[in-house]
Structure 1
């Protein structure tokens, strides 16, 4: 049954708006070419969307030809303003953007662990309001929040989770009350990071993958056939509670100590580094763990380059890329498979081997159940390890599992949560703004 004229117009409008969002400003001729629509149909939809205030002329094509240059049409970016909020145990990061996702203002606000729930919530809400004002936004259309812990898939509320500040659970309601008319949504931080890596980061060519978050704590997000899987209670990927060998106890329903968190969380990484004689920052959170790993990788990389260069002499041998060092670092010999060290000689290399052993324990459990074909090491620590750490983990997975799995390092790191929150807010705002046009 053919679509009615109104339905056909709505489909064409959404197609054109999606292309303008993805490709940027386009001429009517380019829209015709990309959509396959006729010239009169494109002319009608351009006129219709311009009259609705959704697109406008933003310049000229600059094509060298006789007559005037073709007009470039773009989405009216200030039609709606969006905000994204990354909620951490020690504070918040916030940014405000326009409808096409261009960042207009951003800020970070630390919140001390001894701050009461009321004052902490007030600091976070005030940070959003200040950032919106700085961006020139009179009103926020949609606010996306990324937070640690379980998000109830039925209500969208952040559930009580052990070890997390109480103000986390009060923040969304306070923002909804204070920002009248703003749509406020909450999503687990690791899920948002996975969406960002899929859209803008290391998993852009993957419909199925697992993001293993390595930051202050650990977590995982599962994307199967292009769809984020949250689970019956929103707990898919709570890998910090996974019972693993190498810990002194078992985790409980309210405390992940004794689970995978105790092997690969930031504090555990700090202890492991100290055991190998490496300097450790005073604060071992996600960024602190990243510093330790990044310095270890840099040392191993520099030593490998120096060794290869020295052996090459004047032969003109190629200088190795950083990604190729994973193989050499992974060939330490029989002692490399233990959970606390390897046969490698240098402290930084021994540390990276031991860390890869630990990460592989959690990754292997996920791979055995889901067979995702790709694991992205996310978070600040995952990004800091780069292809060297990813290669070491991949080598261990090949030994531990018959399922072929590629391991990649995050390209977004700790910023992935904020990017994912913004992408989610933008999608929902555009659906509302563009869909409202189609209903008129």
Structure 2
């Protein structure tokens, strides 16, 4: 399953040594690694540097790894013979003799795909081993369609997109979907409100495609993407609060994504909160935080404030309403501005209850507002939630909007597939 960025706070550089048992009271001393182990570690280090920095000369690899010139020459030869790296150019630096060769990872050594599976649609992204986009597509899925027809629609979209990219085989496919994912098995468990074709999709993907199919909760994948390339790049501990059709949260602590014993970390929709008429139960989150921050709850809140918005293509009504309210806060008309402010203040009052709960328990220092509603509210909603949160807790906490927009889940699914493929090829 998806792991957080290996360069997290608690990680230490890999060394060519293994621990041994020492007498009590004495410091443990590393035993020297075997030559084959040292070579594997050096190769892995070089591949990681080529991932992070892009193509490099042998001289630059020597500087970054600290290895001797002969050792670098040996690893370049090994990785080239294995088909993992190739010469991609020559240095333009002026020097006597031929210019130095530049080595890069063989991008087409493996091909990957990410899927973002929503209630009424599927999006697909196919890339090479370096993450360069080769083809992408999306398609609606008729909610009235049978399970078989919906699964065939999603599987066909992946196959067609891979064919359009000229990819004969996918080494890994990452799938992001709402609902609970069982740790270890990757099974997408039944959750209230989700269509049955979601659970049926993954087994069919595993039958149809030879590569590894990995599954993760959509909010978790969005958090990983935000940590790698979005609003949480400077944080190793944070919570992403997902405000979409339903609500959820992803928890990243000390650089690692936390899933919980049953994969249910972040099922904040079931959180009992004030302001609801009933309590949630094991089969329904109605009456929990879901009843205050889901799309249906936001549409109801907007109606109570007399706020309407024209339907927007590819955007849920609740997100369109929030986006309209944010825009209306800049209106020259006092009545329009007042109505928008009142609605956004009421929405922030409801959203902050979930944020305050996770802050009180986890002290993450940063809460991201994501999902369609969180993205629509942007910095305006985040600022309102931050002010209320500061009154509810003594724990200093930033509130930020997410940065990657609607592609965060797809980006996270692709990163999951990429991590898996690179670990298989490069070692981990």
Same fold (TM over 0.5): yes
Gaps in structure 1 of 5+ consecutive residues? 308-342
Work out whether residues 381 and 413 of structure 1, in 8 Å CA contact, stay in contact via their aligned partners in 2: no
Q: What is the Cα deviation at residue 346 of structure 1? A: 1.1
Q: Distance in 2 between matches of 1:270 and 1:23?
A: 46
Q: Distance in 2 between matches of 1:285 and 1:272?
A: 21
Work out whether residues 219 and 238 of structure 1, in 8 Å CA contact, stay in contact via their aligned partners in 2: yes
* Higher helix residue share: 1
Q: Distance in 2 between matches of 1:38 and 1:59?
A: 23
1:165 to 182, 185, 195: 195
Work out whether residues 32 and 38 of structure 1, in 8 Å CA contact, stay in contact via their aligned partners in 2: yes
Q: What is the Cα deviation at residue 287 of structure 1? A: 4.1
Partner deviation per Cα, 1:358-397 (whole Å, 9 max, x = no partner): 1101111111111111111112222222222111111101
1:432 aligns with 424
**Given the superposition, is the C-alpha separation of residues 401 and 256 from structure 1 closer, same or farther in structure 2, using an over 3 Å criterion?**
same
Q: How does 1:40-55 map to 2 (within 5 A)?
A: 40-55=70-85
Q: How does 1:153-192 map to 2 (within 5 A)?
A: 153-179=183-209, 181-192=210-221
Work out whether residues 382 and 399 of structure 2, in 8 Å CA contact, stay in contact via their aligned partners in 1: yes
**Structure 1 position 395 matched with structure 2 position 380:** no
1:57 to 63, 66, 87: 87
**Given the superposition, is the C-alpha separation of residues 70 and 381 from structure 1 closer, same or farther in structure 2, using an over 3 Å criterion?**
farther
**Structure 1 position 97 matched with structure 2 position 127:** yes
Aligned-residue Cα RMSD (Å) equals: 2.1
2:248 to 213, 219, 229: 219
Q: Distance in 1 between matches of 2:247 and 2:236?
A: 22
2:276 aligns with 247
Q: Distance in 1 between matches of 2:184 and 2:125?
A: 27
**Given the superposition, is the C-alpha separation of residues 283 and 256 from structure 1 closer, same or farther in structure 2, using an over 3 Å criterion?**
farther
**Given the superposition, is the C-alpha separation of residues 20 and 302 from structure 1 closer, same or farther in structure 2, using an over 3 Å criterion?**
farther
Q: What is the Cα deviation at residue 280 of structure 1? A: 3.0
Partner deviation per Cα, 1:240-283 (whole Å, 9 max, x = no partner): 11111122222221222221112111222222223222223458
**Structure 1 position 381 matched with structure 2 position 387:** no
1:8 aligns with 38
1:421 to 401, 404, 413: 413
In the superposition, the TM-score normalised over structure 1's length comes to 0.86
What secondary structure, in the 3-state scheme, does the structure 1 residue paired with 2:279 have?
A: coil
**Structure 1 position 409 matched with structure 2 position 425:** no
Gaps in structure 2 of 5+ consecutive residues? 1-30
2:116 aligns with 86
Q: What is the Cα deviation at residue 199 of structure 1? A: 0.8
Aligned residues: 398
**Given the superposition, is the C-alpha separation of residues 299 and 67 from structure 1 closer, same or farther in structure 2, using an over 3 Å criterion?**
farther
What secondary structure, in the 3-state scheme, does the structure 2 residue paired with 1:346 have?
A: helix
Indicate the larger mover: 405-414 or 274-283: 274-283
What secondary structure, in the 3-state scheme, does the structure 1 residue paired with 2:56 have?
A: coil
In the superposition, the TM-score normalised over structure 2's length comes to 0.89
